[in-house]
Amino acid sequence: LLKSIREYRNLHVDRTPWAAAEHILDPFLEHLRAAKGIDQLAPAGSFRRCRETIGDLDILATVTGDPAAVITHFVRYPRVVEVLAEGDTKASVVLKEKLQVDLRVVETDAFGAALQYFTGSKEHNVALRSRAKDGGLKVSEYGVFRGDSRIAGKSEEDVYAALGLEWIPPELRENRGEIDAAADHKLPKLVTLEDIKGDLHAHSTYTDGTASIAEMAAAARKRGYSYLAITDHSKAVTIAHGLDAKRVRQQLEEIKAVRATLKGFHLLSGIEVDILGDGSLDLPDDVLAELDWVVASVHSKFDLDEAAMTKRIIRALGNPHVNCIGHPTGRLIGQRGEYRVDLHAVIKAAAAHHTALEINAAPERLDLNDHYAYLAREAGVPLAISTDAHHPASFSDARYGINMARRAWCTARDILNAWPWETFSKWLHK
């Protein structure tokens, strides 16, 4: 029973996944932008830091007129079901989605300081205050002060500069070394969505996707990508009509035919092959050898103990045809916890076998999470931000994977599919 309670708590059932929060926040911000006198408007809190789940939403605003008009507009948002507080410059509401949203109207000269403060994290802010104190300064939501004189506050850049720091991207503000790095001008140039050159995990109508191979390729190309791997399920995933050897080879012929119609775009033949309970793979090596790209994933027997699951995945990593391990912990945010596996050992094995690990960008997965992605990056393991797209529209989920990668301090050099085709191709054929 205690184990079940722990697992339930680990699912973050009282928190909202980041992508869901974004869908709630965007129309609310549009509503607020229509308020009379609104000037600057920005989300803060764990949402701005791109945490995988958030507890509530924080919004900051500056106004050119009376703050009361903006507060009134805020509490009258049609999806509000309860007004928790309504003051002159602050208000809190609960939405139909059971999410609390807080608004603070701040003075223009303190907007940067307030944005920094309310973005957090708490640990980051405590470390900043300590640094300020060492320099004879005070930092708060109202600004950076020397005595009674405010020397910075209008922008975040000003606040950090007053403390002798580079501006720190919100995703890094967890007190994990970012302040020292900012002081030494050694912050990483974090990967961006614009860096992504391709997608290495996508499904088609051959299994449980909803678009043809040609349609998926066209959608990836339209996004500006230069390569795409089609990775339908193998036969063990019966619910998705997974492919046996005969159907893999049939699909391979279709991929070749579609590839012949594409100029300046690289369509890779691939598979998402199941890692069976003993760590063997769901398709024979001679079939895997015919493909350009092999993702190996666990889709069954999630209840193995840690030693057995770790041994299972490491055995799959040792197969010379496996290029990447898909969604390595198996978690579904708010639905299913991680299976028991020693990720430290898996990361070490991935480094030894020169195999990539996936940051599955599907919003319900985000797997690897930022913590494990950070450890993988530190170990020199390439990471693939893949959408696991089952429909062309799902390619846009890449941005959720970018969130995790940025929180993991990743640059474009750390992300396999941020590499130009020539560089990626050399790695693939090493």
Instruction: Tell whether 175 and 209 lie within a shared domain.
Output: no
Establish if 188 belongs to a structural domain: no
Six token digits for residue 100: 């609390």
- Identify whether the C-beta of residue 228 lies closer than 8 Å to the C-beta of residue 257: no
- CATH of residue 422's domain is 3.20.20.140
Q: Mean pLDDT of all residues in the chain?
A: 96
pLDDT at 91 over 50: yes
pLDDT at 58 over 50: yes
Q: What is the pLDDT of residues 159-196, one digit of tens each?
A: 999 999 999 999 999 999 999 999 999 999 999 999 99
What domain range includes position 275?
Answer: 193-428
CB atoms within 10 A of CB 323: 25
What is the pairing mode between strands 16-17 and 53-54?
antiparallel
Instruction: Tell whether 98 and 114 lie within a shared domain.
Output: no
pLDDT at 7 over 60: no
Instruction: Tell whether 265 and 312 lie within a shared domain.
Output: yes
Model pLDDT, residue 4: 46
For 288, list phi and psi in degrees, rounded to 5: -60, -35
Instruction: Tell whether 29 and 151 lie within a shared domain.
Output: no
Residues paired with residue 288 on neighbouring β-strands, in sequence order? none
3-state secondary structure labels for all residues of the chain: CHHHHHHHHHCCCCCEEHHHHHHHHHHHHHHHHCCCCEEEEEECHHHHCCCCEECCEEEEEEECCCHHHHHHHHHCCCCEEEEEEECCCEEEEEECCCCEEEEEECCHHHHHHHHHHHHCCHHHHHHHHHHHHHCCCEEECCEEEECCEEEECCCHHHHHHHCCCCCCCHHHCCCCCHHHHHHCCCCCCCCCHHHCCEECCECCCCCCCCCCHHHHHHHHHHCCCCEEEECCEECCCHHHCCECHHHHHHHHHHHHHHHCCCCCCEEEEEEEEEECCCCCECCCHHHHCCCCEEEEECCCCCCCCHHHHHHHHHHHHCCCCCCEECCCCCCECCCECCCCCCHHHHHHHHHHHCCEEEEECCCCCCECCHHHHHHHHHCCCCEEEECCECCHHHHHHHHHHHHHHHHCCCCHHHEHHHCCHHHHHHHHCC
What is the amino acid identity at position 147? G
Name 185's Cβ contacts closer than 8 Å, sequence gap at least 6. 166
- Identify whether the C-beta of residue 402 lies closer than 8 Å to the C-beta of residue 193: yes
Instruction: Tell whether 175 and 225 lie within a shared domain.
Output: no
Q: What is the pLDDT of residues 261-305, one digit of tens each?
A: 999 999 999 999 999 999 999 999 999 999 999 999 999 999 999
C-alpha dihedral (41, 46, 48, 49), degrees to nearest 10: 150
For 369, list phi and psi in degrees, rounded to 5: -85, 180
Q: Tell me the percentage of the chain whose pLDDT exceeds 90.
A: 95
Q: Of 79, 105, 131, which residue constitutes the final position of a domain?
A: 105
Query: 160-178 b/e with 16+ CB inside 10 Å = b?
Result: bebbebbbbbbbbbbbbeb
Model pLDDT, residue 380: 98
pTM for this predicted structure: 0.95
Model pLDDT, residue 2: 44
- CATH of residue 179's domain is 3.30.210.10
Establish if 245 belongs to a structural domain: yes
Q: Of 73, 105, 137, which residue constitutes the final position of a domain?
A: 105
Confidence category of residue 158, pLDDT binned at 50, 70, 90: very high
Q: What is the pLDDT of residues 292-338, one digit of tens each?
A: 999 999 999 999 999 999 999 999 999 999 999 999 999 999 999 99
**Backbone conformation region of residue 68, classed left if phi is above 0, alpha if psi is from -120 to 50, else beta:** alpha
Instruction: Tell whether 284 and 407 lie within a shared domain.
Output: yes
CA 294 to chain centre: 22
Confidence category of residue 241, pLDDT binned at 50, 70, 90: confident
Instruction: Tell whether 31 and 59 lie within a shared domain.
Output: yes
CA angle 298, 299, 300 (to 5 degrees): 100
Model pLDDT, residue 9: 47
Number of separate domains in the chain: 3
Establish if 223 belongs to a structural domain: yes
Instruction: Tell whether 179 and 70 lie within a shared domain.
Output: no
Instruction: Tell whether 302 and 340 lie within a shared domain.
Output: yes
Q: Of 183, 218, 246, which residue constitutes the final position of a domain?
A: 183
pLDDT, average across residues 204-215: 97
Instruction: Tell whether 81 and 140 lie within a shared domain.
Output: no
pLDDT at 46 over 70: yes
